[in-house]
Copies of this chain bind each other. A is one copy, B any other.
Amino acid sequence: MDSSDNPRRATLADVAREAGVSSSTASVVFSGKTKVSDVTSERVRAAAAALGYSGPDPLAASLRTGRSGIVAVVLEGQLRTAFLDPVTIPMMDGLADGLASLGAGILLLRDEPGEAGAPALTTAPVDAVVLIGCSGRTRESLDIVRSRGLPVVVIEGDAGEEVPRITLDNRHAATGIARHVHDLGHREIAIVTLPLDGDRQRGHIEPTRWESATVEVTVDRFAGVSEVFPDARAVSAGGSSIDEGLIAGRSLLDDPADRPTAVLAQSDLLAAGVIRAAEELGLRVPEDVSIAGFDGVAVDGIGPHVLTTMVQPAAEKGRAAGAQIARMLRGETAESLDLVCTFRAGTTTGPVPAR
């Protein structure tokens, strides 16, 4: 309205002059770092209002204090890819919470090839960085961050020693759910896995294929199940979605002669797809086939079922990352955390059907 195209916006110095105080005093009025008399404070505020001054310029303040109040989150590839996973969202929310105590905002960065020469990470005014799902190009991001000397935390990824990381006890949790199924009497089970690497290839997984798998989550969850069912067959999905689960589920349940009595999916979305596949084929869950998931997210549209699954503390992952960042910013040393999943018994697993 009135302040949009002035020749120059008012600065703190202008306000101070207008109020008849030094700029140091004016500064303190806004930051509250020191006591100022009420009368002075009032005069400064009045002057600010008169000049249309809306508080200290964040850029200048940042330079002086060395803090921008921004934490970068580096996601792989397109945002849509990252946010397709329903776990990501509560995690981000948790991160926002964990960072809130710092009053820090979240800067979304894609670790893209970066057309304009330097990746955004080089030139972004951030106080710290959170790397999610460290792999491939994220590695480069890490190098940049290290050379800038920024505090960094890695969520679900390995970035070498010295970098604090937040992980999940994927392997142990997977063993837990496998044991649950085993206790129910199941012996013929199948696993629907997440992608093994960037290829996202679907289909049956030969045991030797695991050697070239790079996605840690997938490998760990598989290894966990293997402890209980060393010979379980596995098919890989092309991603974590209901439709992918449906495809995998069909391929597993199609042949009545060779049908597992239980299917362990590596994500809840996949499990939901498998349930749909079972329903399609006229199989009852859990009477004819037991199905378990992983993650413990709210999956829409599986009707009356409550999925048996391992609930991962998604929001907690984010909060923990935020907390570690906060520590590092205070100069304390951060530590790595391995969060534990908790078993949730649902209605989708039951005793092995009488043959």
Residues of A within 8 A of B (CB): 1, 3-4, 9, 52, 54-55, 58-63, 66, 68-70, 72, 78-80, 83-84, 89-90, 92-93, 96, 100, 103-110, 115-116, 118, 120, 122-126, 144, 146-149, 241-243, 246, 269, 272-273, 276, 280, 300-301, 303
Q: Known pairs A59-B59, A69-B124, A243-B301. 12 more at Cβ < 8 A?
A: A3-B149, A54-B144, A58-B126, A59-B62, A61-B123, A80-B93, A103-B116, A103-B120, A104-B120, A105-B109, A243-B300, A280-B303
27 contacts between A and B (CB under 8 A): A3-B147, A54-B149, A55-B118, A58-B123, A59-B125, A60-B63, A69-B120, A69-B125, A70-B70, A70-B124, A72-B105, A78-B93, A79-B89, A80-B90, A96-B108, A96-B110, A100-B115, A103-B120, A105-B124, A106-B107, A125-B125, A242-B301, A243-B300, A246-B303, A269-B300, A276-B301, A280-B303
Q: Are A108 and B106 in contact (CB under 8 A)?
A: yes
CA gap between A92 and B269 in the complex, in Å: 23
Q: Are A105 and B105 in contact (CB under 8 A)?
A: no
CB of A110, distance to nearest CB on chain B (Å):
6
A79's partner among B59, B60, B93 (CB-CB below 8 A) is B93
Residues from chain B with a CB closer than 8 A to the CB of A246 are: 301, 303
Q: Is the CB of B90 within 8 A of A105?
A: no
Q: A147 — which chain B residues lie within 8 A by C-beta? A: 3, 52, 54
What CA separation (Å) do A106 and B106 show in the bound complex? 8
Q: Given A52-B147, A66-B59, A108-B108, is A300 in contact with B79 using a C-beta cutoff of 8 Å?
A: no
B241 touches A300 (CB 8 A): yes
Whether A63 contacts B55 by the Cβ 8 Å rule is no
Decide if A55 touches B123 in the complex (CB within 8 Å). yes
Q: What is the minimal beta-carbon distance from A52 to any residue of chain B, in angstroms?
A: 7
Nearest CB of B to A48, in Å? 11
Alpha-carbon distance between A242 and B300 when the two chains are bound, in angstroms: 6
Residue of B nearest to A275 (CB): B301
Contacts of A118 in B (CB 8 A): 55
Q: Closest approach, in angstroms, between the C-beta of A353 and any C-beta of chain B? A: 25
Contacts of A52 in B (CB 8 A): 147
Give min CB distance, A72 to chain B, whole Å. Answer: 8
Q: Shortest CB–CB separation between residue A15 and chain B, in angstroms?
A: 14
Known A-B contacts A54-B147, A149-B4; A70 and B103 likewise in contact (beta carbons under 8 Å): no
CA distance A93 to B110 in the complex (A): 10
Q: How far is the CB of A327 from chain B (nearest CB, A)?
A: 15
Distance of A214 Cα from B228 Cα, bound (Å): 55
Least CB distance from A96 to B in Å reads 6
Cα distance, A41 to B241, chains bound together (Å): 50
Contact A79 B92 (CB under 8 A): yes
Please pick, from B55, B107, B149, B301, the residue contacting A272 in the complex, using a CB distance under 8 A.
B301
Question: Nearest chain B CB to A65's CB is how many angstroms away?
Answer: 9
Most chain B beta-carbon contacts within 10 A, residue among A107, A110, A118, A149:
A107
